[in-house]
């Protein structure tokens, strides 16, 4: 077995039956309202919880969740999970984030010194949450993937920051000021990415409401559907294992995946990795822990391949096919 990471390895030549399940892109509006995500462009002012409540009211659903709190005065990308997609909130909350912020310096600093210090802050960062935070104030390690200056105007530095979830940008700005010896603060902040979701796919609350109204008036659910992503999109960063139709129901009932149930898989899986278990129609079945590497899964005919963390698909979608 050879190939680059991400290459799909075919363990068997199974076909999926059209009698069971449905490809995510073929779901109806009502199905997407239970297994979808809408990427809201949160305005400054309301809390993330308030925005989520408004989404529930606009879409007429009873359950929704958001992917990580944005302070009221912060705008930007806020994916809202709908219905059963709330099971993926934790995965979204722990995904990488990107922000655009304005760093305000207390005095003029040579550009060379500024660029040097910004570069020094890329990499592992030790942070203690600020006094006004919802978590315990202990030192935590986070990674700053990049700090890219966009524009510098006198004492204001507009910059883009890519970081691990849970990074405090306000604290980052304060620490940069200490390193520069001049003092600094965060003037403005906007989130531009959360995992696979970026600004290009956001929708304003008013536009979401308009789409809902127009879809009813025009009797065309596609007007609203185009703003709701199947929840499988959140699993894109994970390595995947596709299973046979005959194995789906057992996993939906909490069973562990064994080698005979595997149809194909991505190369590059290591033992202990978090992987997505998918049907051959690309429906999400579960998020699981790999108990074997890709090479072992490909070669083995028995034994446990993956243990579920979270079962996403409800029972009864595929038939029971064991005695």
For residue 227, give the nearest of 255, 242, 208, 210 by alpha carbon: 208
The stretch 57-66 carries a mean pLDDT of: 95
Q: What is the DSSP track for 213-258? A: HHHHHTT-THHHHTT-EEGGGGGTTSEEEEE-HHHHHHHHTTPPEE
Say if 162 falls within a structural domain: yes
The stretch 185-210 carries a mean pLDDT of: 96
Give the active site residue among 14, 41, 71, 236: 71
The stretch 6-30 carries a mean pLDDT of: 93
Say if 322 falls within a structural domain: no
Q: Output the pLDDT for position 198.
A: 96
Q: Output the pLDDT for position 130.
A: 63
Say if 233 falls within a structural domain: no
CATH for 68: 3.30.2350.10
Question: Which among 227, 246, 278 is the end of a domain?
Answer: 227
Q: How confident is the model at residue 55 (pLDDT cuts 50, 70, 90)?
A: very high
**pLDDT at residue 4 above 50?**
no
**pLDDT at residue 298 above 70?**
yes
Cα-Cα-Cα-Cα dihedral sign, residues 233, 236, 237, 238: positive
* The total number of structural domains that make up the chain: 3
How do residues 237-294 score in pLDDT, each as one tens digit?
Answer: 999 999 999 999 999 999 999 999 999 999 999 999 999 999 999 999 999 999 999 9
Say if 205 falls within a structural domain: yes
How do residues 81-106 score in pLDDT, each as one tens digit?
Answer: 999 999 998 888 889 999 999 999 99
The stretch 197-218 carries a mean pLDDT of: 97
Q: Note whether 105 and 83 are same-domain residues.
A: no
Q: Output the pLDDT for position 134.
A: 52
C-alpha–C-alpha distance, residues 312 and 284, integer Å = 6
CATH for 159: 3.30.70.3190
For residue 191, give the nearest of 93, 102, 97 by alpha carbon: 97
Q: Note whether 88 and 219 are same-domain residues.
A: yes
Q: How confident is the model at residue 1 (pLDDT cuts 50, 70, 90)?
A: very low
Q: Output the pLDDT for position 136.
A: 62
Q: Note whether 76 and 89 are same-domain residues.
A: yes
Q: Output the pLDDT for position 282.
A: 97
Do 263 and 243 meet the contact criterion of CB atoms below 8 Å apart?
yes
Do 20 and 319 meet the contact criterion of CB atoms below 8 Å apart?
yes
Mean of the per-residue pLDDT values for the chain?
Answer: 93
Pairing status of strand 97-105 against strand 156-163: antiparallel
Q: Note whether 109 and 157 are same-domain residues.
A: yes
Say if 3 falls within a structural domain: no
Q: Note whether 85 and 201 are same-domain residues.
A: yes
- Which residue is it, tokens 């059209």? 18
The stretch 183-212 carries a mean pLDDT of: 96
| Measured distance between the N- and C-terminal CA atoms of the chain, rounded to whole angstroms | 34
Q: Output the pLDDT for position 3.
A: 38
Q: Output the pLDDT for position 2.
A: 38
Q: Output the pLDDT for position 139.
A: 81
Domain that holds residue 51: 34-93+197-227
**pLDDT at residue 5 above 70?**
no
Give Cα 74 to chain centroid, integer Å. Answer: 19
Say if 2 falls within a structural domain: no
CATH for 19: 2.30.130.10
How do residues 37-50 score in pLDDT, each as one tens digit?
Answer: 999 999 999 999 99
Mark whether 71 is an active-site residue. yes
Query: Helix crossing, 169-180 with 111-120: angle to 10°?
Result: 130
Q: Output the pLDDT for position 199.
A: 96
Q: Note whether 83 and 104 are same-domain residues.
A: no
Q: Output the pLDDT for position 323.
A: 61
How do residues 112-167 score in pLDDT, each as one tens digit?
Answer: 999 999 999 999 998 876 655 555 667 889 999 999 999 999 999 999 999 999 89
């Amino acid at each position: 077995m050879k190939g680059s990471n991400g290459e799909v390895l075919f363990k068997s030549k199974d076909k999926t039956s059209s009698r069971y399940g449905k490809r995510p892109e073929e779901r109806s509006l009502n199905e997407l309202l239970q297994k979808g995500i809408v990427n809201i462009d949160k305005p400054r002012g309301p809390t993330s919880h308030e925005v989520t409540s408004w989404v529930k009211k606009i879409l007429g659903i009873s359950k929704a969740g958001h992917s990580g709190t944005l302070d009221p005065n912060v705008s930007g990308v806020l994916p809202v999970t709908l219905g059963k997609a709330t099971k993926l909130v934790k995965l979204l909350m722990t995904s990488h984030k990107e922000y655009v912020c304005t760093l305000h310096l207390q005095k003029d600093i040579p550009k060379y010194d500024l660029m040097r210090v910004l570069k020094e802050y890329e990499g592992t960062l030790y942070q203690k949450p600020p006094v006004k935070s919802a978590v315990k104030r202990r030192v935590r390690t986070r990674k700053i993937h990049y700090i890219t200056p966009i524009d510098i105007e006198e004492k204001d530095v507009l910059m883009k920051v890519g970081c691990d979830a849970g990074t405090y940008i306000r604290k980052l700005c304060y620490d940069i000021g200490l390193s520069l010896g001049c003092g600094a603060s965060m003037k403005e902040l906007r989130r531009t990415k959360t995992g696979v979701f970026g600004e290009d796919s956001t929708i304003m609350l008013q536009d979401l409401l308009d789409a809902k109204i127009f879809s009813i008036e025009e009797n065309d659910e596609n007007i609203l559907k185009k703003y709701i992503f199947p929840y499988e999109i959140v699993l894109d960063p994970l390595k995947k294992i596709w299973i046979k139709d005959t194995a789906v129901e057992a996993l939906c009932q909490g069973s562990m995946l064994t080698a005979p149930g595997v149809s194909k898989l991505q190369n590059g899986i290591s033992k202990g990795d978090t992987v997505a278990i998918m049907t051959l129609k690309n429906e999400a079945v579960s998020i699981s822990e790999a108990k074997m590497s890709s090479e072992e899964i490909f070669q083995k005919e028995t034994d446990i391949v993956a243990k579920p963390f979270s079962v996403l698909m409800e029972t009864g979608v595929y038939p029971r096919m064991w005695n």
